[in-house]
Amino acid sequence: MRRTHGSARVLFSAALMASLVGAVAPTAAAEPRACAWTPAILPLPAGALTGDVAAADGSGGYAGTISYGANSAQGGRAVLWKNGEFTDYGNLDDPEYQNWVNVAGVNDAGTVVGAAYREADGLPGAVRSRNGKLERLPELPDAYASTAEGVNDHGDIVGAVGTADGDALYWHPVIWPADKPGTVVELTGSPDTEAIATGIDQDGTVLVEADFDGNRVPYLWKNGEARQLPLPDGAYDVITRGISNGRVIGQVSYDSGDDGRSVLWDRDGQPRVVERGEDVRGINRDGQIVGRTDDPSWHEFGVWQLTTPGSTLSYAPDRGLELTVSSDDGTIAGQSWKIPGGRDEPTVWTCR
């Protein structure tokens, strides 16, 4: 799964409270690589004002959104950079939807997934790329909204479908299975509460964020069964950030204090604090993590090997940056901009 949370976060309504609490286990991480990260700005087509990298395919391909401006007829479009070529999947060709799309993931076949937004009420509709353009994904009966949050190399797409619950939406975790094109399947065996599937691993394991009375709890779902990941001591809410090769990362809130906001669940399922991690955003198959450090300036980003800090990247006097993607090929990506007044530019950094 290649996914970051530059994608839209689905809001949950309340349900019953339930969570398990576990200890934060020690970890023995491999030593991070010593890197001098060299940036490369990806090209934008003529007329495009901004761009970002939201996901990577693990072999030199990067997906994101480029913008021609809020008042432009072209709006924000889903794109892919790969092997020196630029593919513009555009936005959804549907007059009921805005000319904007949010990219959440991409796989090795170049399938991009995410959401478009309805003009009338701003609610999302799940989309995928196919035959050079975007198309809507099917929804459950009586659905009002949907979002695609991740895709693996097999082509399975995961996300959520929202149905009416009074004046609110109730979100159901779903999968759009590659071997049953044109169908959507609710995840049976997941917790009996509102939830969203936020990512999918290459073996088909789905990362699910279940909402219990406003507190989010991570689950792993596979073959009709879901198991909860234990929470660190004192934790009550988790924003899941990614799953790759059996590992999960997330942001944790605690009853009191701040015992380590960024957490890695390694393959044994136990939570471990990512040292100096304030807001981790991406993880690759080798356990390379990227995100914001705890530097109080909010201008420093880090690269970790599992929970061990490695190199850091910081704002320069003339350029800012944000890291959101850790690709399986070892590169990292996001956006950067000139200071002062520069616009976001899609950027990839390579370890030299």
CA distances from 195 to 14, 169, 206, 216, 286 (A): 11, 11, 12, 9, 28
| Digit-coded pLDDT (tens) for 152-167 | 999 999 999 999 988 8
In this prediction, residues 179-189 reach a mean pLDDT of 96
pLDDT category at 71 given cuts 50, 70, 90 is confident
Find the range with the poorest average confidence among 32-36, 71-75, 97-101: 32-36
CA distances from 164 to 15, 144, 167, 168, 170 (A): 15, 7, 7, 6, 6
- Confirm if 318 and 337 have CB atoms less than 8 A apart: no
- For residue 6, the model assigns a pLDDT of 36
Q: Return d(Cα 68, Cα 76) in angstroms, integer.
A: 6
pLDDT category at 14 given cuts 50, 70, 90 is very low
Other CB atoms closer than 10 Å to residue 310's CB: what's the count?
A: 17
* Tokens 């956006």 belong to residue: 335
- For residue 37, the model assigns a pLDDT of 97
- For residue 23, the model assigns a pLDDT of 37
- For residue 259, the model assigns a pLDDT of 65
Closest alpha carbon to 287 in 244, 333, 251, 324: 244
pTM for the full predicted model = 0.91
- For residue 191, the model assigns a pLDDT of 92
In this prediction, residues 52-78 reach a mean pLDDT of 95
- For residue 34, the model assigns a pLDDT of 77
Closest alpha carbon to 173 in 165, 185, 156, 182: 185
In this prediction, residues 180-190 reach a mean pLDDT of 96
- For residue 332, the model assigns a pLDDT of 98
More confident residue, 168 or 107: 107
- For residue 4, the model assigns a pLDDT of 38
| Digit-coded pLDDT (tens) for 136-148 | 999 999 999 999 9
- For residue 9, the model assigns a pLDDT of 37
In this prediction, residues 262-268 reach a mean pLDDT of 97
Find the range with the poorest average confidence among 67-71, 80-84, 201-205, 310-314: 67-71
> Is pLDDT above 70 for 186?
yes
